[in-house]
Structure 1
């Protein structure tokens, strides 16, 4: 199938397919006599696999490892589990960071409810000092 057909079927754009080729995730397909790429039917499943891995937060390098692991072997499941466990840890760290940012903003916004004459906008003051919002230095 041609590039545009594969892209449509897999739910990506044509530039994504070319990028996957450059990164080695997708084999370069043979070309027709008129110069069009002719992807095998199996390319759609591969692209969908990579896209889903990326949606789950895996990097493209990790997605490439998962593609290799999907081919099987006795250690495939354990290796895939290790990658997923590492990804879960990273997601949990990011969630904790986001929760800290949310809590800081909620606290700052709450000060806006003070009477106007008593109010100093701590939100703006906090943004003027770099360590007031960051909390843990991130």
Structure 2
């Protein structure tokens, strides 16, 4: 095999290992009591962000917080490759895993009166090519349809 082919294999292997081996960030709400600001990279959206690059609307609902939480869980169940990592009555931390390279994105939900704040961030990389924003909007559509 050529040196170029070896280099390509090394890069692909490193990406695969990096995608699989990442751990949850320390700045999650469950650890700090607040949503962390998005980093200065286009791989994060947050309903508490003030800048247009990262800002996204929260999920809104009427009825009880418990019913909204169940709708949210049903909407998550309708989406592929995710698991709830941590849950309380008012908070969910969900990890989504990409199909090919197994990259992990952390999505947090804080359920309040009539509103669910959301933050979705890629663990690694500079850009997510709009994946986090699209994911939240897909989740919003499922949530508004009643969960799934």
TM range (shorter): under 0.3
> Which has more helix, going by share of residues?
1
> Which has more strand, going by share of residues?
2
TM-score normalized with structure 2 length: 0.24
Structure (1 or 2) with the larger CA radius of gyration: 1
